[in-house]
Amino acid sequence: MRKLTLFFILTLVHLTSVHAQKINDSYRLNIQKASSEILIDGALDEQAWLDAEVATDFYMITPMDTSYAKVRTDVRMTYDEENLYLLVENFHAVEGPYMVESLRRDFNFGKNDNFLLFMDPFDDQTNGFSFGANAAGAQWDGIMYNGGSVDLSWDNKWTSKVTNYDDRWVFEAKIPFKSIRYKKGITEWGINFSRLDLKTTEKSGWAPVPRQFPSASLAYTGILVWDQAPPQTGANISVIPYALGGFRQNRFEGEEPMYRKEIGGDVKIGLTSSLNLDLTVNPDFSQVEVDRQVTNLDRFELFFPERRQFFLENGDLFASFGYERIRPFFSRRIGLNAPIQFGARLSGKINKNWRVGAMNMQTGKVEEEALPSQNFTVLAVQRRVGSRSNIGAIFVNKQALNYNPDPNSDKPIYSQFNRNLGLEYNLATSNNLWTGKVMGLKSFGPDNSDQGFVQAANLKYTSGNLTWEWQHEYVSESYTAEVGYVPRNGYFKINPTIGYRWFPKSEKILSHGPDISSTSYWNKSGEYTDNTSFIAYNVKWRSQSTFLLWTAYDYVMLQRPFDPTNYSGETLPAGSQHKWFAWGTEYTSKPQSILTYAFSTRMGGYYADGDRYNVTAELGYRFQPYVSITMSANYNRIILPEPWYTNTFWLIGPRVDVTMTNTLFFTAFVQYNEQIENINLNTRFQWRFKPASDLFLVYTDNYLPAPFYTKNRSLVLKFTYWWNL
């Protein structure tokens, strides 16, 4: 283990020093101060736009990345003392209407004609912001992290307008400097522009990006050259109060309605142009869309992403530490079982090389569960190394306050504290061909049994045709992360993967090729406990439809009792061994159609020499740009010996999105989950009466399917207002 870890460290450090120069630094767009006032109306008629330099001659990213784009896109940018302005002319190459889902904010990238701006105002090729719109005017905004990922849950204050003409659609936007963070005094920002035109199925970018990477990749940005350093924002304080009223009722327990009258809010203080202090008092997240339900046949806890605004800005400092299933900090552990009373978070960049994050949250007591008041503290620091790599450290502390449990009580007993300390090195070469990580974590608890550790590493290579990766993990049995997401411990894992793509000169097929992976686990005693070996063949058409055919072999030696239905309560014994073969398919139709569909199938063996059959399907229809209707269904049939016999689980979820304008939204969806015997109805009305200021009306019901009976019900009316001081 130590030799393997040392090998990874030496390899990643060596790769850090490779390719230090920025790749697209010859692509430069000069921005100068506006020579006239600008009205956001989607028209190129102000003198400031006529004087602005034009970014044009985009490069094709897909279907090929070796030529100029066939679809013409012209971009202009300018600024004044308070705002950054953007105007984009998206010319048509083929006659016909544009393709969009609806006017829903933060739309699905692949299902809309759209234009997106990606900017790196810290010039670190790792963090930034994205803004954009589809051809109907729906807005897109997100915070960028890890060099090319975009978190669309982030929301901020800006305005835009899209106007359609016979030969083009024009997108014009005003982004306040107070809504973004940027490095003080620098006159060059990383920037790129992305255009997706579904009629030609062409994705293009101003600065060229290899087709194996997303157009959001900050490693391939060009440069926005300012005529002078961007203006300082001065006093940058935003107050975002809310007020709500409503009720909730547990009808299943025969309780009376509990009425709610609450106020609270957030304060955002820009300490510098790149360092922000967030404060919250009595926050409420009732407007956040509920999680999509799934049929759970997994042995371990499922993961659902964070959606609450307070935890999102610079959230990668905390949430990206570790791996997908080894997270020392997972913000959803805070406030879901106990109310958050108040909290504070300091996050951002100190200078070009250093990022910091500090968070402290206080929750209240829950008397009926004997859950004490708890304090959560998270500290993170990140030091840039080379062009795009970094070294990071994290400290997580969960502390019970004034807690003296009675050991003779029948109520749950919680730990006094749990702490985690971690260090990791993240590799990302300037051309993004090599990425990787080496990490270590140590946990601390009230007694020695809580003091475990983690060591893990991976190295990935991604070229135009070939992708391969090696990953290994070790999690000790005593490792504990009460504020994290680590669903499994006491194992050593290795996971090599390899994939290859051919790009034929075909009018129909864009790419095709295989993927092969193998994931193996050993327990603390060195026993071989799990293996999944997977082979798949992928086909992607130029129309953007995709097909996947796969087969897999599974072996499991259970480490603890497990109910293979997660429903009956009857379990297979620990130590029992199970193996099976399975195969399946996946297909997604082309996104240009008004009617879209997708399906996946799975058939083969299962635990206890049983069989499992699964079909998942989704059907979508849109009356663009105002209505999008989606029906999804998941069917599982599990055939097992006694005492389980045959079980079938349906999961059905119709959804309707109605977007009357790009500021007035209505969403309704139903989730019928046979496995947990629940029907969930959720409706949400949102009126964005001013940028980032909203009125929400949210109604939720949960029903028992048979006999049909209301289990619980809630109604919330919430008003939020974004006020810049």
Looking at residue 405, its pLDDT comes to 82
Apex 193 CA angle, 190 and 195, nearest 5? 160
Phi, psi of 75 (to 5 degrees): -125, 135
Confidence class of residue 8 from pLDDT cuts 50, 70 and 90? low
How would you classify residue 125: left for phi > 0, otherwise alpha for psi between -120 and 50, otherwise beta? left
Number of domains in the chain: 1
pLDDT tens-digit readout, 177-208: 989 989 888 899 999 999 999 999 999 999 99
CATH code assigned at 83 = 2.60.40.1190
pLDDT of residue 19: 46
Report if residue 256 sits inside a domain.
Answer: no
**Residue span of the structural domain in which 106 resides:** 21-226
pLDDT over threshold 90, residue 648: yes
In the predicted model, what is the mean pLDDT of residues 223-239? 89
Query: Is 300 contained in some domain?
Result: no
Question: What tens digit of pLDDT does each residue of 608-645 get?
Answer: 999 999 999 999 999 989 999 999 999 999 999 999 99
**Cβ burial, residue 271 (10 Å; 0-12/13-18/19+):** exposed
Nearest to 304 by CA among 280, 279, 332, 285: 332
Q: How far apart are CA 461 and CA 246, in angstroms?
A: 52
Per mean pLDDT, which of 312-326, 328-342, 542-556 is the most reliable?
A: 542-556
**256 close to 712: Cβ distance less than 8 angstroms:** no
Residue 378 in contact with residue 318, Cβ under 8 Å? yes
Does residue 26 sit within a domain? yes
For residues 18, 24, 26, 31, the Cα torsion angle rounded to the nearest 10 degrees is -130
- pLDDT above 90 covers a percentage of the chain that reads 76
| Residue 89 maps to a domain | yes
Reported residue count of the chain is 725
Q: What share of the chain in percent tops pLDDT 70?
A: 97
In a domain, 182, yes or no: yes
Within a domain: 517: no
What pLDDT, on a 0 to 100 scale, did the predictor assign at position 77? 98
All residues at 6 or more sequence positions from 306 whose CB lies less than 8 Å from its CB, including other chains: 153, 312, 315, 319, 330, 331, 332
The model's pLDDT over 136-165, given as tens digits with 9 standing for 90+, comes to 999 999 999 889 999 888 888 999 999 999
Average confidence (pLDDT) over 252-279: 90
Q: What is the pLDDT of residues 697-721, one digit of tens each?
A: 999 999 999 888 899 999 999 999 9
pLDDT at 545 over 50: yes
Strand duo 188-197 + 709-720: pairing: unpaired
Q: How confident is the prediction for the chain on average, in pLDDT?
A: 92
Structure tokens at 222: 């060009």
Say if strands 139-145 and 128-134 run parallel, antiparallel, or are unpaired.
antiparallel
Which residues are within 8 A (CB) of 39 and not within 5 positions of it... i.e. 6 or more apart?
Answer: 46
- Evaluate if residue 572 carries a pLDDT over 90: yes
Q: Which residues contact 413 (CB under 8 A, 6 or more apart)?
A: 370, 405, 407
> What confidence tens digit (pLDDT) does each residue in 455-472 have?
999 999 999 899 999 999
DSSP state of 386: T
What pLDDT does 430 receive? 87
pLDDT of residue 123: 86
User: 2 pLDDT exceeds 60?
Assistant: no
Is residue 677 in some structural domain? no
Q: Work out whether strand 114-120 and strand 222-226 pair parallel, antiparallel, or are unpaired.
A: unpaired
What pLDDT is stored for residue 413 in this prediction? 83
Summarised one tens digit per residue, pLDDT across range 378-426 is 999 999 998 889 999 999 999 999 888 877 777 788 889 999 999 999 9
- Does pTM top 0.75 for this prediction? yes
Is the Cβ–Cβ distance between 716 and 695 less than 8 Å?
no
Position 15 confidence tier, pLDDT thresholds 50, 70, 90 = low
Query: In DSSP terms, which residues pair with 90 in a beta bridge?
Result: 73, 169
As beta bridge partners, residue 347 has 276, 357
* Rounded CA separation 201/93 (Å): 11
